[in-house]
Amino acid sequence: MLNLKEELNDPQLQAVRAIHGPVLIIAGAGSGKTRVITYRIAHMLESGIPQHSILALTFTNKAAREMETRVKELSGKKLQALTVCTFHAFGVKFLKEEIESLGYRKNFSIYDEVDKEALIKDCLRESRIANPDINYYEMGQLFSGIKTGRYTWADSPGAAGTGARYDAAYENVYNEYNRSLKIFNAVDFDDLLTLPITILEQNTALLKKYHERFRYIMVDEFQDTSLIQYRLFSLIARGSGADLIGTQANVCVVGDDDQSIYSWRGANYRNLACFEKDFPDLAEIKLEQNYRSTTTILEAANGVISHNTMRKEKSLWSDQSGGKSIELFYPGSESDEADFIVSQINTLMMGGTFAYDSFGVLFRTNSMTRSIEESFLESNIPYKVSGGTSFFQRKEIKDIISYLKLIANTHDDINLLRSINTPRRGIGKTTIQTLSDFAHSHKTSLWDAMERLCRLPEGVPSPLPQKTRAELDTFMGLIEDFRVRMLGEKKDLAAKTRNLADQIDYWSYLISEHSKNEKIARWKFANIEYFIGAIDQWEKNPDNTDTGLFAWLNRISLITRDEGGEDRGKVNVMTIHASKGLEFPVVFIAGAEDGIIPHTRSLEAAGEEPFTPASAEEDTQTPVSLSMEEERRLFYVAITRARDKLFITSCQKRRRLQELVECRPSPFLEEIPPHLIEVHQTESAVENPKQAEDYFNLMRKRLAVT
């Protein structure tokens, strides 16, 4: 039995009890948002609302898992019919049931960013654009924006900095891209959201079914939902026809506009206005008491975020008065910075009050974590990096996965191309070109082309030489063989995958690829063993009801961060973006330099100059900059991760693109009230006293300005 009154404060209680009608919860950093959501679900279950009527949508897999675990603990129930997942995972679940109505087959492949880029390359080759003036990545962004309705061809942005609009020629590439996906029976991440909408809009009866099933919908991190995500859940919440009035919908969104840091991925602050319009008479509840941080940290965070103009008014407060000062260091280089963090951790560990997992080290970018990793390894400090190149993106893992994906869906050209000559089978460019030409002219997949050009009746001439045909035939035989074995019986997928690695002799391939360094080959092989181990664990998990090959592939397609392994007893290293929703007793914000926070690329993309005002007056004259405000929110998120103690480091020099660049401290540091900060010289400053002195003075001047 839940004891809500004892466990929650008044606004929290109000939020938990408001289960009927539309609700908007504005939850400041550290205000017990997760607590409210989990209690709310537990309270619903206790009130007799059936599990299958509840849909809770989150932003990350991690949040979904955490929410589910905590609801399970609170309610003491098995949660077989409760749906707690990310928007994308919901899309997969939906499409698994309904995708056939759009002419796809159920064994569709899910393309990640890498697959997507490979396909775009392919489509560009086919079109006659020889020298596109944007790269594949930018083109992927463009396609994504078009697909999700962020912009149309007429108002699409131009290549960064040029001010030019994209040429209509890319529209053909885009169409070719989508046609190819369909032929390959594949969907990209955007399709996971747009296809369900298409299906639901076409089929009123189906929409009615979903609308009537999910009577209670909750959306976490609402400030980071995109337009397309908004459309998906509001469609289900409002139903169609007579149900179109939003006042009766039991839909609850939880968010904090100050923590909106994903606009580049389509997150749209206007969703809030849409929500207020689409669901009139909503109850608005503000959670403003912070239970996480000391007032020092909160004041610093408030000082920073108050410089933003576009925000919903709120005032976070805490009754934990005082707190340790925020300490600011400016190491000479990124290796000094890493050494500094290591020594601080060592010192604090000696005090005995902290464990390694009390520390969070936050960076702006993934690539910046390298130097800290080196230092941690050297000093034997256990650590865990989340984010970055995920385990599943590693070459050797991707190779094995591409075989599995091809086995699941032989029309998946992108994964066929990846696996067909890895390890080498003597199938090169010319063969691929022949197959590809045939596939294109017959509007079919490479696999189909292969079958039709290789396995010809006697006497029919083939455009492929006998030797190549034999190679292709062997390859197809291998895939078909495993197809029968892996799809036939939903058992021992792990063992069968090991079998596959043996049969393609991947080990010999690794040895030959890394003939100069056998250690690397061993390391990569160990990764494959780990991968197989992960399949094994997953298969043997009793909570897992669907253990087939498709289920496994769908699962890992949506996991980008490496979520396996034990977190306890390890220092947490991650990007600021990845730290959202987490908290640590001690936080280090590393690389708090101008050009990093705020990031130059972020400002460039919006066609803005890097922000380095010489004085406070100039600062106020700077026009409102959306990207600058988002960068400030990012810094705000970083600060508010800390419970007791915050360290900020800003390097004097940093290695960038092979050269050493002079750095300046982040302009946001000036926005922290100076009385909360202690500025320190570091030992490394001795090496270059003049420069260190200048930097120190600049820092002080900046802090004195406010």
Partner DNA sequence: GCCCCCGCCACGCGT
Partner DNA sequence: TGGCGGGGGC
Catalytic residues: 33-34, 220-221, 259, 641
* Span of 285-293, 358-366, 447-455, 565-573 interacting with DNA by CB under 7 A: 358-366
Count CB atoms within 10 A of the CB of residue 667. 22
Out of 387, 591, 665, 667, the residue judged to bind DNA by CB under 7 A: 387
Task: Choose between 20 and 265: whose C-beta lies nearer to DNA.
Answer: 265
In angstroms, what is the minimal distance from the CB of 138 to DNA?
9
Task: Choose between 74 and 267: whose C-beta lies nearer to DNA.
Answer: 267
User: Which 176-195 residues touch DNA, going by CB under 7 A?
Assistant: 189
Burial, 315: exposed, middle or buried (Cβ in 10 Å; 0-12, 13-18, 19+)? exposed
User: Which 1-30 residues touch DNA, going by CB under 7 A?
Assistant: none
Question: What is the DSSP secondary-structure string of 608-676?
Answer: ------SSHHHHHHSPP-HHHHHHHHHHHHHHTTEEEEEEEE--SEEEETTEEEE--B-GGGGGS-GGG
| 3-class secondary structure per residue, 56-101 | EEECCHHHHHHHHHHHHHHHCCCCCCCEEEEHHHHHHHHHHHHHHH
Interface with DNA, residue 225, by CB under 7 A? no
Task: Choose between 463 and 569: whose C-beta lies nearer to DNA.
Answer: 463
Helices 395-408 and 493-503 meet at what angle, rounded to 10?
A: 110
Instruction: Return the SS3 of 260.
Output: coil
* Span of 22-30, 68-76, 170-178, 557-565 interacting with DNA by CB under 7 A: 557-565
Task: Choose between 112 and 334: whose C-beta lies nearer to DNA.
Answer: 112
In angstroms, what is the minimal distance from the CB of 658 to DNA?
5
CA 172 to chain centre: 29
For 388-449, list the strands marked E by DSSP: none
In angstroms, what is the minimal distance from the CB of 558 to DNA?
5
In angstroms, what is the minimal distance from the CB of 106 to DNA?
21
Interface with DNA, residue 463, by CB under 7 A? no
Q: Which residue has the tokens 């409210």?
A: 36
Out of 33, 150, 599, 633, the residue judged to bind DNA by CB under 7 A: 599
Task: Choose between 215 and 364: whose C-beta lies nearer to DNA.
Answer: 364
Interface with DNA, residue 137, by CB under 7 A? yes
In angstroms, what is the minimal distance from the CB of 400 to DNA?
15
Interface with DNA, residue 657, by CB under 7 A? yes
Nearest-10 Cα torsion for 532, 537, 543, 545: 30
What tokens does 63 get?
């949040």
What tokens does 486 get?
């892996």
Interface with DNA, residue 395, by CB under 7 A? yes
Please tell me the distance from the alpha carbon of residue 355 to that of residue 352, in angstroms, as a whole number: 8
What tokens does 403 get?
């075989």
In angstroms, what is the minimal distance from the CB of 265 to DNA?
5
In angstroms, what is the minimal distance from the CB of 542 to DNA?
25
Out of 38, 296, 333, 431, the residue judged to bind DNA by CB under 7 A: 431
Under 8 Å between Cβ of 188 and 146: no
Task: Choose between 88 and 286: whose C-beta lies nearer to DNA.
Answer: 88
Sketch the per residue contact string, 404 through 423, with DNA: x for CB under 7 A, - otherwise.
-----------------x--
Under 8 Å between Cβ of 254 and 298: no
Task: Choose between 62 and 211: whose C-beta lies nearer to DNA.
Answer: 62
Total chain residues near DNA (CB under 7 A): 50
User: Which 625-644 residues touch DNA, going by CB under 7 A?
Assistant: 627
In angstroms, what is the minimal distance from the CB of 135 to DNA?
7
Under 8 Å between Cβ of 344 and 645: no
How far separated are the first and last CA of the chain, in Å rounded? 52
CA distances to 364, 648, 654 from 592, in Å:
8, 7, 12
Interface with DNA, residue 366, by CB under 7 A? yes
Interface with DNA, residue 427, by CB under 7 A? yes
* Span of 96-104, 363-371, 443-451, 672-680 interacting with DNA by CB under 7 A: 363-371
* Span of 12-20, 408-416, 596-604, 661-669 interacting with DNA by CB under 7 A: 596-604
Interface with DNA, residue 558, by CB under 7 A? yes
| Helices and strands, counts by H and E, the chain | 29, 17
Interface with DNA, residue 231, by CB under 7 A? no
Task: Choose between 188 and 671: whose C-beta lies nearer to DNA.
Answer: 188
Interface with DNA, residue 402, by CB under 7 A? no
Instruction: Return the SS3 of 700.
Output: helix
Residue closest to 212 by CA, chosen among 235, 193, 236, 228: 236
Interface with DNA, residue 430, by CB under 7 A? yes
Interface with DNA, residue 468, by CB under 7 A? yes
Output the CA angle 590-595-601, nearest 5 degrees: 115
In angstroms, what is the minimal distance from the CB of 231 to DNA?
15
Under 8 Å between Cβ of 367 and 655: no
Output the CA angle 28-265-646, nearest 5 degrees: 40
Interface with DNA, residue 602, by CB under 7 A? yes
**526 membership: H or E segment, kind and range:** helix 518-540
Identify residue 60 by its one-letter amino acid code: T
User: Which 287-346 residues touch DNA, going by CB under 7 A?
Assistant: none
Under 8 Å between Cβ of 128 and 176: no
Interface with DNA, residue 474, by CB under 7 A? no
Output the CA angle 47-50-52, nearest 5 degrees: 145
Interface with DNA, residue 653, by CB under 7 A? no
Interface with DNA, residue 664, by CB under 7 A? no
In angstroms, what is the minimal distance from the CB of 360 to DNA?
14
Identify residue 121 by its one-letter amino acid code: K
User: Which 71-130 residues touch DNA, going by CB under 7 A?
Assistant: 86-89, 112-113, 121
Note the residues at the interface with DNA (CB under 7 A): 59-61, 86-89, 112-113, 121, 135, 137, 144, 189, 264-265, 364-367, 370, 387-388, 395, 421, 424-431, 468, 512, 558, 560-561, 574-575, 577-578, 599, 601-602, 604-605, 627, 657-658
